[in-house]
């Protein structure tokens, strides 16, 4: 994992409700996680992984447990989920094309809306090719496993998203991890790979747990000097970072040197789905050989209609981007001034991670904030780097100045009540 702050959570002994497991019980591998969850719930805190939103009121507010709650953990960075034009496009597509395609993209599952969505992506990124997948997870799974197979090498940041690791495993390429955001470590790994091997380097623009940004300019240079192809996952930066919202690669001036950009519709775009864009001349052949693209049903017409409309509106989202940056700087600075330990020294993205002493304190703080009327994500190992427990805050361009001020007040009260500050 990354060289972050090491703070292993206290182990919890597993009493177990099932008694002795039967020989060969395939659930035995989950005993440690079961014990952790039972210990957490036994402490009296509300289950942080079972929240139900009874009604969503806006991009920034919902009813949770009967209480109006400010949403600070939804990845709805640009606040497009309730955009009037986006909703209208979805309704029209639902009425004109029905509720679903019931088919694969290579058979009966490509409707006019899928092509229009891919055209919007090509225009947004200024690239020649675009493929839309049913989820962002499937986009990484499909592209990585298809272009890097047995005998090839995939070089990845050790803090890469689960979908990247799973794409590597599915393709059976040799996985070469390097220390998080370490350019020198990346260069050393590349030099150890046989000169005639096929190499794909997979990077992320923004890493989702701590909200830190990759030094793509230096990393892409090293990759190109080694003759490697580069894929950048911009899931948490699309729409927000860069002059045109294309992500960290755009902001750092390396768009032309990146071979593939992966993204998702479930964050800034405000719906569901994933995509890959590229200028590679043979890119279209992937439609016939990429298993997670071929062997699954395509997105419903209403989803691709909302996505295409949202993407085109994000092309003109400079004012929203500016306000989101203001929110990020204010919240990061305010939390730091209150005495909270944060995942980054400066605001680098729309994600601000608040580091907790351990899982128990993290769950208590999460619950205290929820009772205040604020929802954040509680993130725990093994999803987090360096065994950290985090409260992950995801800001939205629709958060008002007043809401950010209220959020800071809620953190102050909850932090003092729990003993974090």
Identify the domain boundary among 258, 290, 314. Answer: 314
Distances in Å between the alpha carbon of 82 and those of 57, 85, 278, 306? 9, 9, 30, 11
On whether residue 3 sits in a domain, the answer given is no
Q: What is the mean pLDDT of each run of 10 residues along the chain (421 residues)?
A: 39 51 91 88 85 96 95 97 98 98 96 98 98 97 97 97 96 97 98 96 97 98 98 97 97 98 98 98 98 97 98 97 98 98 98 95 95 95 88 98 98 97 95
Are 192 and 304 part of one and the same domain? yes
Please state the pTM of the whole predicted model.
Answer: 0.92
Are 72 and 97 part of one and the same domain? no
Are 326 and 256 part of one and the same domain? no
Please check whether residue 262 is in contact with residue 141, taking contact to mean a CB–CB distance below 8 angstroms.
Answer: no
Are 340 and 251 part of one and the same domain? no
Identify the domain boundary among 314, 337, 372. Answer: 314
Element (H, E) at 264: strand 260-264
pLDDT digits (tens, 9 = 90+) for 52-82: 999 999 999 999 989 999 999 999 999 999 9
Choose among 107, 135, 72: nearest CA to 263: 135
Are 290 and 371 part of one and the same domain? no
**Total structural domains within the chain:** 2
Residue 43, pLDDT score: 84
How much of the chain exceeds pLDDT 90, in percent? 87
Residue 421, Cβ density class (10 Å: 0-12 exposed, 13-18 middle, ≥19 buried): middle
Query: The sheet that has 389-394: what strands, in order across it?
Result: 351-356, 389-394, 377-379
Are 151 and 94 part of one and the same domain? yes
Which domain, by its residues, includes 283? 84-314
What CATH number corresponds to the domain at position 387? Answer: 3.90.1150.10
On whether residue 228 sits in a domain, the answer given is yes
Cα pseudo-dihedral 289, 136, 245, 312, rounded to 10: 80
Identify the domain boundary among 288, 314, 340. Answer: 314
Are 264 and 401 part of one and the same domain? no
Q: How many CA within 13 A on the CB side of residue 247? A: 33
On whether residue 394 sits in a domain, the answer given is yes
Residue 18, pLDDT score: 52
What CATH number corresponds to the domain at position 114? Answer: 3.40.640.10
Are 382 and 285 part of one and the same domain? no
Choose among 272, 332, 282, 236: nearest CA to 132: 272
């Amino acid at each position: 994992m990354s060289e972050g702050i090491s703070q292993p959570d206290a182990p919890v002994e597993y009493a177990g409700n099932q008694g002795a497991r039967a020989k060969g019980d395939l659930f035995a591998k989950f005993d440690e996680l079961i014990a952790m969850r039972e210990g957490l719930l036994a402490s009296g805190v509300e289950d942080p992984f079972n929240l139900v939103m009874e009604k969503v009121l806006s991009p920034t507010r919902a009813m949770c447990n009967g209480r109006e709650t400010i949403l600070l953990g939804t990845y709805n960075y640009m606040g497009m989920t309730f955009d009037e034009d986006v909703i209208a496009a979805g309704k029209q597509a639902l009425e004109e094309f029905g509720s679903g395609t019931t088919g694969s993209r290579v058979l009966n599952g490509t409707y006019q809306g899928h092509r229009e969505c891919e055209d919007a992506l090509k225009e947004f990124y200024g690239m020649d090719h675009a493929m839309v997948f049913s989820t962002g997870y499937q986009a990484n799974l499909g592209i990585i496993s298809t272009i890097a197979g047995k005998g090839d090498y995939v070089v990845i940041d050790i803090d890469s998203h689960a979908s990247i690791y799973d794409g590597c495993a599915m393709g059976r390429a040799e996985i070469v991890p390097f220390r998080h955001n370490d350019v020198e470590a990346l260069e050393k790994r590349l030099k150890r790979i046989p000169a005639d091997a096929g190499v794909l380097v997979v990077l992320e623009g923004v890493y989702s747990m701590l909200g830190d940004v990759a030094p793509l300019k230096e990393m892409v240079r090293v990759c190109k000097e080694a003759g490697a192809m580069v894929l950048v996952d911009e899931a948490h930066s699309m729409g927000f970072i860069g002059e045109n919202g294309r992500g960290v690669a755009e902001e750092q001036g390396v768009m032309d040197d990146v071979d593939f950009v992966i993204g998702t519709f479930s964050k800034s775009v405000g719906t569901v789905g994933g995509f890959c864009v590229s200028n590679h001349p043979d890119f279209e052949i992937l439609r016939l050989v990429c298993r997670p693209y071929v062997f699954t049903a395509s997105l419903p017409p209403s989803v691709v209609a909302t996505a295409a409309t949202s993407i085109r509106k994000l092309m003109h989202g400079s004012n929203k981007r500016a306000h989101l940056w203001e929110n990020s700087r204010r919240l990061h600075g305010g939390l730091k001034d209150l005495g909270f330990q944060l995942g980054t020294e400066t605001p680098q993205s729309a994600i601000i991670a608040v580091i907790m002493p351990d899982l128990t304190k993290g769950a208590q703080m999460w619950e205290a904030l929820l009772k205040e009327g604020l929802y954040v994500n509680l993130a725990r190992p093994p999803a987090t780097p360096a065994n950290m427990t985090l409260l992950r805050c995801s800001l939205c361009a629709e958060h008002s100045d007043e809401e950010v001020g209220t959020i800071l007040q809620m953190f102050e009260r909850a932090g003092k009540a729990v003993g974090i500050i």
